[in-house]
Every structure is written in structure tokens, then in C-alpha cells.
Amino acid sequence: MIVVNTETIPGYKIVQIKGLVQGNTVRAKHIGRDIAASLKNLVGGELTGYTELLVESRREAMARMLAQAQQLGANAVVNVRFATSSITSGAAELYAYGTAVVAAADTPAQPAQNPA
């Protein structure tokens, strides 16, 4: 499955649009991660617990989006975007969406043969 955040795929032409596909997940913060993040705030640096949570969320939302595209018979998803929103205190949604398409390799036109 080809996944791009552009409207086109270099070297391919879109031959059919299957429709909008989406995947989402709602995740809550973990008390252990909150404690570690609070301690890290004292000294500074990356909050790796939250980074890992975001990576897991992005991966799950993307997998759900791609599964929906596959069910529609698509072989690519173009114009992919991610969005987040707060659901409740301590929980957030990560949403991935794009347009499922069928893309075919773009074959360059053959030069005309000169009869000689």
C-alpha cells in the first residue's frame, strides 16, 4: 500500500478514487508515565513515555485507516493527514485520514517509430 501526504504519487496516475478512509484511537495517559514526566520536567529533556504513547497511537490509527482502504480495494492512500483532539482530561484522540485510490504505474509514451 502506497501512503503519501501529497495529492499525487510520482510515477503513478490515479485511475480510480475509492473514497475517504480514516482510522482513529483514543488513548489515556498512564500514571507511571505521568510520574516520570513530572520528574523529567524538573531537569528538562524529552518525555519519552509520551513520545512512545504518540508513536503507538499514530501506528494504530494508520493501521486502521489502511485496513479500511484495503477493504475498499485501494492500493494507495493519498493526501494523508493526522489530527489530534482532547476527549477528556488525560485522554486524547489521534485521527488519521486520507483518500483511498487505485494507482497505476505511469508508463511513459513510446516515441513514434520513423519508417525508413
Per-domain residue ranges of the chain: 2-105
Indicate the SS3 state at residue 31. helix
Kindly give, in sequence order, each residue whose CB lies less than 8 Å from that of residue 88, ignoring residues fewer than 6 positions away.
none
User: pLDDT band at 116, cuts 50/70/90?
Assistant: low
For 27-63, the pLDDT digits (tens) are 886 555 555 555 555 556 666 777 788 889 999 999 9
For 60-84, the pLDDT digits (tens) are 999 999 999 999 999 999 999 999 8
Confidence check: pLDDT of 89 > 70: yes
Kindly give, in sequence order, each residue whose CB lies less than 8 Å from that of residue 76, ignoring residues fewer than 6 positions away.
1, 2, 3, 4, 9, 12, 14, 69, 100, 101, 102, 103
Question: In this predicted structure, what is the pLDDT of residue 30?
Answer: 59
**pTM of the prediction?**
0.79
Please state the CATH superfamily assignment of the domain spanning residues 2-105 in this structure.
Answer: Hypothetical protein apc22750. Chain B (3.30.110.70)
Which helix (H) or strand (E) element contains residue 81?
strand 76-88
User: pLDDT band at 87, cuts 50/70/90?
Assistant: confident
